Structure 1
Amino acid sequence: MSFLKKLSPFYNLIICYIVVSFILRIVLLFHPITQASFSTIDALKIFTIGIVSDFFVFIIASCFLWLYLIFISNNKYYKPYGYIILGLLVSLFLYIASGKSILNEYGGALPKIGLIFVGIKTFLFGLLLFVPKYRDRIRFWLFSFVLFLFVLLILQNAISEYFFWNEFGVKYNFIAVNYLVYTNEVIGNIMESYPVIPLFSGLFLIAGIASYFVIQKSKAYLQNIPSFVEKLKISGIYFVLFAFSLFAVPKLAQLENSQNTFTNELQANGIYRFYLAFVNSELDYFKFYKTIPNNEAYATLNKQIPGINGFSTLRDIKSAATEMHKNVVLITIESYSADFMKAYGNDQNITPFLDKLATESLLFTNFYASGNRTVRGLEAVTLCLPPTAGESVVKRKDNKDKFTTGSVFKEKGYAVKYLYGGDAFFDNMEDFFTGNGYDIIDKKTLTPEEITFSNVWGVCDEDMADKAIKVMNTEANTGKPFFNHWMTVSNHRPFTYPNDKIDIPGDAKSRDGGVKYTDYALNKFFTMAKKEAWFANTVFVIVADHCASSAGKTELPVDKYRIPAMIYSPGFIAPQHYTNLVSQIDLMPTVFGILNFNYQSKFFGQDVLKADYKPRALIATYQDLGMIRDNVLTILSPKQEVKQFQLTLIPKEGIEDDFQLYYDQKPLKTERKDLINETISFYQTASDVLKEKKYNKK
């Protein structure tokens, strides 16, 4: 047998991985969410650099395959070695089972996993040792299982990448890493959103067929097991390729530099993207982004936020009028894009209640979300802080005792609560809100009688509306004003909700249905609230956490950040349109201004109704940090990169000027240095105050 055939398990699996990745790229290229055209150069980069990157990534990922193959041997079963090895395995098993192993120091499921793994290994080694007659057959089936497992993982990863793309329009990022942490919600979401049994049945069938061919082409390795010298040669070749791969993979990733974001995403290797997201959950702004001297950054910020002094955002907010301690109810709506509403051009009548409420409210027609995840929306309305690079503050370790909207209300004598229909453990919400003085009302606090419908994300919005009314009635009876922040859940995949509520069935799993049901539940909430005595003394703030989709042709497609926002208080706030540019971080400072609050503020967000407000919006992903001003989008990216785009309105017939959504984003011909410095000032100082703990409550 030639030496090349002894490498057959490696190269057959590599071929399998590259073929699957090639097919996946074609599928994603023609996916409806891939809203871009590709030049010949783009296509060549996607498929050539992409394939080369896949090759080297698989070399790194196949280290476990090398380890398994290199230990296939008959010599280890000869006396006395076989009995010595078995004795060591049994001793290791007993050591882990004793509960005093090093694995127990790490806790969790690790000791159990270790015990199962060593137990299976011990059993199989004993079987091969004591039943030599069937050793070759048993080894073949184990060999087949290992190759099947690799093929299955290759196909499973492809399916996961497809569904991730289907949801977000990108390869793996922070969200995929988070999904590993919150497995209950994520697995439940998959179970409820997709036909899991047919999907996995098909997966196992295809994996079985593909594995059959891989096994047939690779079984020569077992028919003539490599000698010790040959294994040294195999290991030498593998180590050289492994070392080169460690160098090549990040270098190839640097070639993801097209102006077409989709080209970069399709060219990228999903597994490597996942690794990058895992190790870079926090990005040091001062290491990765363009900076200016700190004194210059704060001086520039002072021109945007009057009243701050020195290296801080601390300033006095004074009102000439008397403070009003009205109740405040903040409702953040899950995944709610502006284009769901009639005013922005939607003709499907999926938001009839909010369409009507908008005509009775102070409506912000040009309002932008800070990010594309719920934690970013919560961060924006709670901390009123620009979306700094990396993970949201909500998810960070240093997330407690911050200066928040809740802390301002508490100083004014308010009861402060966070209401959430799911388990507030998800996305670290419980840790964040309790660590900042909020009381939590979530699914765990509801009695079985209070739950009429739930899915993996929590109880339906109607149930939470009922609970919210009960909570507010109790608070009103204390005589203290209350601030309640309610986060909805029903407008989220799998979009299931009670049947016979709206004209879209609850089991249709339709996004339009999820939107319309949430609208229905909010209508029910306000219908109940209007009957309560506290309603007339309450300000209601309604805003989305983020858009339903964040995918687009550029790093920050501005239409994917446009969300509805309104303040409703009949008899107190007159219905009107506020048409200037507004950021999500400005919403609650504006509410404080309406209530004439006097307080010391650290917020970057401002009262947009004040004469000194300079319109701008701050939007970001976990790594691209943007500012919209003067119809220019400035983006700061890692490696000190800066891009600027001219925003040219693409008018849509039948929509009022105030509600036009879509812009053409073309690279700016002449650099606007002033806007670059202003953008840097916001993000650099925000990073600085968090890093130096200057954004803490005291």
Structure 2
Amino acid sequence: MSKLFPQRFKLLFYFVKIFIILSTLVRIIFVLWVFKELDTSFFKLANTFLVGVLFDLGTVSFFALPYALYLLFFPQRWYGSLFDRIATWCGYTLGIVIFLFSFFAEITFWEEFKNRFNFIAVDYLIYTYEVVKNINESYPIPLLIGGILLFTAVLLFITKRRGIFQKTFHSESTFMEKLFPTLLVISTVLIFVLFVNNKDAEQFENRYNNEIAKTGIYSFFSAFQKNELSYTDFYRTLPINEAFAEVKSEFKRRGDTLLFPEKESIYRNISNTDSLPEQRPNVIFICVESLSANFLGSFGNTENNTPTLDSLANHSLFFTNLFATGTRTVRGMEAITLSIPPTPGRSIVKRENNQQLFTIGEVFKQKGYERNFFYGGDGYFDNMNSYFGGNGFNIVDRGRGFLLDASITTTRTNIEDEEVTFENAWGIADEDIYNKVIKVADEAHGAGKPFFDFVMTTSNHRPYTYPEGKIDIPSGSGRSGAVKYTDYAIGAFLKKAQSKDWYKNTVIIIMADHCASSAGRQELDVKNYHIPALILNLPNAAPQKVENLASQIDVFPTLFSLLNWNYNTNLFGTDILKMKPAEERAFVGTYRKLGLLKKDGSIMVLGDQQLSNFYRWNRETNELMPLENDNRFLNEIISNYQTADYLFRNEGLKLTTLGIEK
């Protein structure tokens, strides 16, 4: 090698070369995977790879730095000593294993999310037990680990065969000769630490080009470091009094009465203007894991995997134009319980200071209901027990893992082993959780207590396993089987529930937490936020298909209106059935992109770096066509997201702030 790159650094630069080659191979795999969705013009595709190589160099420099410093300061007289050989072989082998493992993990992550590592990957690292078990059930782990080790051995053999180790150990490079390459590595690291962000890879209009340009390991540590985003620091804002004035004016137009009109607050009273008697049936809410609208025959699917739901669509209040706010279960839980637009960063369910908030559970409490949260897995996952327990719900889960916080006074009931017929990485089969719901409902009915149950299912989730013999698709064969079993279990639950005395006075709501896939090539893939929602067994209500554009946050305010409730509320949602066409809207977002969709297909998207883009969404093609900016629309979206973020960060969602006792 030249004096600028002395022979002592031969192995280090070979290590860098291997990383770039492997990373490029992964990038090529992703290109082929989504080729039809990419911008494949020569200039854009070439730039995608060029940006990718630059991020690869930055990423591998962090791995190279410790060994570069070792090479710089390790005395020349000890080159090739036993210690030098052991340290070099071990370090090189460990680095190769990490690279190969990360590339395998990226491919499996891409398969499910069509993203480089992000918040979800960070969460998966925290919840190791569920994730490792899920991977073990979904993939041939011994074969994959064996493949990684075999590939590692092959790379070690090639490296040794090419004489790379020998040249490193038999070098006579001096300290001064080693200084330049070490400074080069240090400089690269400093540049990426001080001046480069993961989002700098996003140089393209096509989302897939942006994701492919990134480097997975770098994206992972970026997400780990920046798991929350300050709305006021990163997004377009208005003076806070103007933002609240905009939101309050909308509530006033709907006839709501603000209780603190002079404060930064949306706490208000909603009155039953028809003076009809309030109805207080039991309410069971089934939050179905990953149930995209396009799985249902009611939305054009021809696989006949949802006969139960398709039948219910004709005998219920069926919302055909409803959209999830986000792409993860905790984001759906946030939207449903807090009835709030999605705030940037991680879901409120996973944040600190998220207890004693005004949720839909508080409205049920005002009306005398017992509130229960059912989850077929371990509720410590995704902080669900802490969130629901800390907001007044009794917990029913598998009872393993972390206990509830000492400050939480609600009860926790275990789902015992004898109550479980089938279980996988994420939890028990949907039939088992529904059987537990029926058992608890029987007890509440016997005690004369009206109940509100929030039930979170798990069966429609990778590894897509469920009890054999229930449906005609083998367990573990893919998403279609999981969807069909999910539908089957709902039918079995309803059949059992209908035999109970409490059923005739029980409303059942079925809605997805989010879609099975949310990724697309554009800023927001709007189609992949479309979810089904049904309200069954409503007293004195005829079946109806509701075509109004609406959001997850609106479903429970709609129910409260249908039950003729007078109540105080801090919820952003509104009665879908009373929406005028100009009021119809849906909030959709990722942890960084915040969107507001209108009835006419116009959608505004806010991004960090205080960006905003205005589009027309074509429902048929799912394309976003750029439009000239609309300042009135811009003020509306800023006001909703800014006030939502402000209320959470300034304890405006807290019961004590609203003058409500625990």
- Does the 8 A contact of 1:60 with 1:245 survive in 2? no
SS in 1 for 2:48: helix
- Does the 8 A contact of 1:404 with 1:697 survive in 2? no
Q: Which moved more, 1:444-453 or 1:359-368?
A: 444-453
2:293 aligned with 1:338: yes
- Does the 8 A contact of 2:201 with 2:214 survive in 1? no
1:12 — aligned with what?
Answer: 14
2:158 aligned with 1:213: yes
Query: Deviation of residue 267 (structure 1)?
Result: 1.0
SS in 1 for 2:576: coil
Amino acid at match of 2:596: M
Distance 2:181 2:593 in 1: 43
Q: Give 1:563's match in structure 2, choosing from 531, 538, 556.
A: 531
When the two chains are superposed, the root-mean-square deviation of aligned CA atoms in Å is: 2.0
- Does the 8 A contact of 1:56 with 1:249 survive in 2? no
Give 1:17-36 correspondences, 5 Å limit. 17-32=19-34, 35-36=37-38
- Does the 8 A contact of 1:364 with 1:578 survive in 2? yes
Distance 1:68 1:573 in 2: 75
Post-superposition Cα deviations, 1:539-588, rounded to whole Å, max 9, x if no partner, equal 11100000000111212111100000010016533110111101000011
Q: Which moved more, 1:629-638 or 1:230-239?
A: 230-239
Distance 2:370 2:556 in 1: 16
Distance 2:539 2:116 in 1: 49
- Does the 8 A contact of 1:28 with 1:34 survive in 2? no
1:50 — aligned with what?
Answer: 52
SS in 1 for 2:502: helix
Flag the 1:596–1:343 CA change in 2: closer, same or farther, 3 A. same
Q: Give 2:205's match in structure 1, choosing from 239, 243, 259.
A: 259
Give 1:422-433 correspondences, 5 Å limit. 422-433=377-388
Post-superposition Cα deviations, 1:406-440, rounded to whole Å, max 9, x if no partner, equal 11111211110000000001001011011101110
Flag the 1:323–1:612 CA change in 2: closer, same or farther, 3 A. farther
2:137 aligned with 1:192: yes
Amino acid at match of 1:18: I
2:246 aligned with 1:276: no
Amino acid at match of 1:223: H
Flag the 1:681–1:253 CA change in 2: closer, same or farther, 3 A. closer
2:628 aligned with 1:663: no
Distance 1:611 1:632 in 2: 17
Flag the 1:152–1:391 CA change in 2: closer, same or farther, 3 A. same
Q: Which moved more, 1:385-394 or 1:230-239?
A: 230-239
Query: Deviation of residue 56 (structure 1)?
Result: 1.9
TM-score, normalised relative to structure 1: 0.86
SS in 2 for 1:563: strand
2:350 aligned with 1:391: no
2:496 aligned with 1:543: no
Query: Deviation of residue 236 (structure 1)?
Result: 3.6
- Does the 8 A contact of 1:167 with 1:549 survive in 2? yes
Distance 1:24 1:192 in 2: 24
Give 1:44-443 correspondences, 5 Å limit. 44-70=46-72, 72-73=74-75, 136=81, 139-215=84-160, 216-224=163-171, 226-228=173-175, 230=177, 232=179, 235-247=182-194, 249-250=196-197, 253-254=199-200, 256-306=202-252, 307=256, 308=258, 309-310=261-262, 311-319=264-272, 320-443=275-398
Query: Deviation of residue 141 (structure 1)?
Result: 4.3
Amino acid at match of 1:260: N
Amino acid at match of 2:24: F
Amino acid at match of 2:606: L
Q: Give 1:676's match in structure 2, choosing from 623, 634, 651.
A: 634
- Does the 8 A contact of 1:329 with 1:540 survive in 2? yes
Distance 2:617 2:191 in 1: 43
SS in 2 for 1:59: helix
SS in 2 for 1:281: coil
Flag the 1:244–1:689 CA change in 2: closer, same or farther, 3 A. closer
Flag the 1:612–1:697 CA change in 2: closer, same or farther, 3 A. farther
- Does the 8 A contact of 2:293 with 2:532 survive in 1? yes
1:112 — aligned with what?
Answer: none
- Does the 8 A contact of 2:527 with 2:619 survive in 1? no
Distance 2:603 2:437 in 1: 39
- Does the 8 A contact of 1:340 with 1:350 survive in 2? yes
Amino acid at match of 1:242: V
Distance 1:325 1:246 in 2: 58
Query: Deviation of residue 275 (structure 1)?
Result: 2.2
1:81 — aligned with what?
Answer: none
Distance 1:259 1:595 in 2: 46
- Does the 8 A contact of 2:359 with 2:391 survive in 1? yes
Distance 2:96 2:36 in 1: 27
Distance 1:348 1:11 in 2: 53
Query: Deviation of residue 303 (structure 1)?
Result: 3.3
1:533 — aligned with what?
Answer: 501
Distance 2:214 2:184 in 1: 26
- Does the 8 A contact of 1:171 with 1:273 survive in 2? yes
Largest Rg, 1 or 2: 1
Amino acid at match of 2:40: F
Amino acid at match of 1:239: I
Query: Deviation of residue 25 (structure 1)?
Result: 0.8
Post-superposition Cα deviations, 1:61-94, rounded to whole Å, max 9, x if no partner, equal 32232344456558799xxxxxxxxxxxxxxxxx
Flag the 1:29–1:189 CA change in 2: closer, same or farther, 3 A. same
Query: Deviation of residue 34 (structure 1)?
Result: 6.5
Flag the 1:69–1:22 CA change in 2: closer, same or farther, 3 A. same
Q: Which runs of 5+ in 2 are unaligned?
A: 400-413, 657-662
Query: Deviation of residue 227 (structure 1)?
Result: 4.9
Flag the 1:231–1:546 CA change in 2: closer, same or farther, 3 A. same
- Does the 8 A contact of 1:59 with 1:245 survive in 2? no
1:581 — aligned with what?
Answer: 549
Q: Which runs of 5+ in 1 are unaligned?
A: 78-134, 651-661
Query: Deviation of residue 230 (structure 1)?
Result: 4.9
Flag the 1:282–1:241 CA change in 2: closer, same or farther, 3 A. closer
Q: Give 1:635's match in structure 2, choosing from 605, 616, 621.
A: 605
Flag the 1:507–1:612 CA change in 2: closer, same or farther, 3 A. closer
2:654 aligned with 1:696: yes
Amino acid at match of 1:649: R
How many pairs are equivalent? 627
Query: Deviation of residue 647 (structure 1)?
Result: 1.7
Query: Deviation of residue 50 (structure 1)?
Result: 1.1
Q: Which moved more, 1:152-161 or 1:389-398?
A: 152-161
